[in-house]
Structure formats: structure tokens, C-alpha cells
Amino acid sequence: MKAFVLSKYKTAVHEADVPEPVVGERDVLVRVQAAGLNQLDEKLRVGEFKAILPYRLPIILGHDVAGTVIRVGARVSAFKPGDEVYARPRDHRIGTFAERIVIDERDVALKPSSIAMDEAGSLPLVALTAWQALVEIADVRPGQKVLIHAGAGGVGSIAIQLAKHLGAEVATTASAANADFVRLLGADRVVDYRTEDFEEVLSGYDVVLDSLGGENLEKSLRILRPGGKAIGISGPPTPEFARAAGLSLILRLATAGLSRRIRTQAKRLGVDYTFLFMRASGDQLRDIAGLVDAGAIRPIVGRVFPFDETVAGMESLAKGGIRGKAVISNP
């Protein structure tokens, strides 16, 4: 079958003919009709996550899928051929930039019935990230104040809607050109990151979801109330993450060193910092599908690339500037 493969870090993906995937007894074989493009794909391409995700190259990239079930394993009962599904395949089983993919049934859910395949393909990774940050880690409650950085992006555009659904007062950072767009998503306060310093105009927040890291994360700690939570999805990784991920002692020590500065700052301020590297979950995708079909969350697809233009789609990740998500379509 045709797929787009990464053979060497810091090079472009390329088209290749690869073997058909083998269906295990707990697996679901899906015809890929839409595959979301994520910054995680770009970070893997340039080798940024080699320590956390030590893939052996060549690999097929792609972390989001929506499509139709072709075949199921002998012990699968929740899905059948013809079902329209969506998923974020678990780490070390990625590869949605292909015509077909085999996915563990635990990572799969029926796609929301109210949206198109391209929209469903844009959702899994970013929606799971927002869910695990705001529901699992932060336990956002009505009336709390939540800051979502980069609100016009893939994670941000979903996180704003989810935080609003949870009853929060939502602030976000965005360009002036995207201010009306993020307000339509539910943002109550928009800070133009090009002309304003959010640290100077925001304070007393319960939760910050940070996708930028570095100085932006340090500032985010300072706008939290005592006991508030900053959740970072760009890093730095923490010792808690390293232990949960089963990393080696050397890597656990390395992550402790990388995050020592930000953890020390958080402790001094009386706030909490958590690094989130989202995980696959079909159960959570079922909950998210319910919110989509109820109208609480709508996917934002900023651009669609035909399957044959997957290389151009990957290049768009480095360029940025797309509202919501870009998607590869192979109807």
C-alpha cells in the first residue's frame, strides 16, 4: 500500500510502497479517509522527541485518523466492518499517513455522526490533549479562570470550547487578526500577543494550558493564583512524566535537570506545573464524540491537503499560520 515515510531525521517524508498491516486479534483495520496534521509529527520529523519516543526509522508518521473499518481481529466485538471510526493510535503504533492502518481497539471510537470525515480526522490528538489537561489534570469547575495560549491553533481552538463547556471564564492569547475567531469559540478575554504582555494584564488564574514553553511558561506561572495549575504540552518534561513513561534512569535524571528551573519557580510561587504528553484513549474519544454531536465542540479545519500532497501538508506544519487543524484527505 502507499504511505508517507520518514527515513532519516530532519529530512522530508517521502512516498513509499509498504507492506499491508497485519491485523492482531484485538486490532481494527481502518481505511484512512482523513488524517490530521499535528505539531507532534513535525517534532518527530526533526528528532526533537528522540529520547521520549525512540522510534526506529523508517516509520510512517501520522497520529490522527478517521475512516471506515475494513476488518476486525478475532476477539474484537465493539466494532465491525463498515463502522465509521476515529482514533489517535497509541505511541509506537502510529502511521496514519497511509492508505490503511491497524489500531488497537482500545484506541478507537465511533466517529461523531454530526460531522464530516475530514473534521473527525482533525480531532483525536488535540481533543484528547484538551480533555486530559482540563478534565483529568485540572478538573476545571464552573467559575474558574482558565488561560489557553495560542487559542487559534489546533489544541487551543478545542481547549477554548471545552473550557467554556466546563463553565470556566476563558482567556486566550491570539493575534489581532484571530481575535474575533477565538471569541466565537467562546473566549471571554483575548490578549493580542504581538502588542500586549499577558503577564501585565492577567492575574489570579486557576489554570493555564501552555503550548509554547520557555519564557511563556515562566510568565504563565506568575499569573496563577496560589494553588493554581500550569499544564505544559511543549515541555519541559518532569520526573513524574519520566517515571510514568518508564524511561531509563539516565533519561529520568535528564528530565529532572531539564525541568528543575520551572519546578523550582512553581514551588516558590505556590503553584503546580505538570507536563502533559497525551495518551490514546478510545473511552475519552467516545465522551468527546458526545460533546461534538451535542454541539458543545466543533472541529476547526483550516486547510485540507489531498493524500498525494502529504509532503506539502507536513511542510505547512513548520510554516504555521493555519487556524485550527490541517488535514490530509483520502476519500
The neighbouring-strand residues paired with 86 are: 66, 109
Single out the residue in 243, 260, 275 at which a domain terminates. 275
306-329 per-position pLDDT tens digit: 999 999 999 999 888 899 999 999
pLDDT > 80? residue 234: yes
Q: Which three cell numbers stand for residue 207?
A: 489554570
Number of domains the chain contains:
2
Tell which residue, 301, 325, 318, 306, has the closest CA to residue 2: 306
Q: Which three cell numbers stand for residue 116?
A: 464530516
Residue 177 lies in domain = 125-275
Tell me: do 110 and 141 sit in the same domain.
no
236 prior amide bond cis, ω within 30: yes
Is residue 283 assigned to a domain?
no
Tell me: do 251 and 132 sit in the same domain.
yes
The CA-atom distances, in angstroms, between 186 and each of 163, 180, 246 are: 9, 10, 38
Q: What CATH number corresponds to the domain at position 208?
A: 3.40.50.720
pLDDT > 80? residue 273: yes
pLDDT > 90? residue 258: no
Is residue 282 assigned to a domain?
no
The residue assigned the cell 503546580 is: 272
- Are the C-beta atoms of 152 and 182 separated by less than 8 Å? yes
pTM of the model: 0.95
- Are the C-beta atoms of 277 and 238 separated by less than 8 Å? no
Q: Of all residues in the chain, what percent carry a pLDDT higher than 70? A: 100
State the pLDDT at residue 85. 98
73-132 per-position pLDDT tens digit: 999 999 999 999 999 999 999 999 999 999 999 999 999 999 999 999 999 999 999 999
205-219 per-position pLDDT tens digit: 999 999 999 999 999
State the pLDDT at residue 53. 79
State the pLDDT at residue 242. 80
**Average confidence score pLDDT of the chain:** 95
pLDDT > 80? residue 254: no
26-65 per-position pLDDT tens digit: 999 999 999 999 999 999 999 988 877 789 999 999 999 9
Is residue 28 assigned to a domain?
yes
Q: Rounded to an integer, what distance in angstroms lies between the CA atom of residue 119 and that of residue 6?
A: 25
Q: How confident is the model at residue 243 (pLDDT cuts 50, 70, 90)?
A: confident
pLDDT > 80? residue 250: no
How many residues in total does the chain contain?
331
Q: Who wins on pLDDT, 242 or 10?
A: 10
State the pLDDT at residue 106. 98
Tell me: do 240 and 135 sit in the same domain.
yes
The residue assigned the cell 484506541 is: 107
Calculate mean pLDDT across residues 267-295. 97
Q: How confident is the model at residue 239 (pLDDT cuts 50, 70, 90)?
A: confident
Tell me: do 223 and 163 sit in the same domain.
yes
The neighbouring-strand residues paired with 108 are: 87
Tell me: do 93 and 110 sit in the same domain.
yes
Is residue 261 assigned to a domain?
yes
